Amino acid sequence: MNEKNLSRINPLALTVSLVIAAFLVLVLSRLFQNVNLWIVIAIYFLIDIGFIVAMVIGIKTKIKPVVILKCTL
């Protein structure tokens, strides 16, 4: 893949991976009952920062479909 294709996939791949990570944290926090709530909140906070970074990367790209998709999410 060349650099143009990678810059097109990066914000979308980051968003998909963060959604999967958030789902896994939700499921795993329910499976392990003795997990401290602050640990789960901190992990969700990091995932939220990742979503903001993905949104900024998606908006800064010059590819119109990625910008439209990131603005609607």
pLDDT in tens, 20-62: 999 999 898 888 888 888 999 999 999 999 888 887 877 777 7
Quote the CA–CA distance of 45 and 67 in Å, as a whole number.
24
Is the model more confident about 39 or about 10? Answer: 39
Quote the CA–CA distance of 62 and 33 in Å, as a whole number.
45
Amino acid 15: pLDDT = 83
Is the model more confident about 21 or about 63? Answer: 21
User: pTM of the full predicted structure?
Assistant: 0.71
Residues with Cβ within 8 Å of residue 18, at least 6 apart in sequence: 47, 50, 51, 54
Residue 8: phi, psi to the nearest 5?
A: -75, -35
Instruction: Find, among 31, 27, 73, the residue nearest to 54 by Cα.
Output: 73
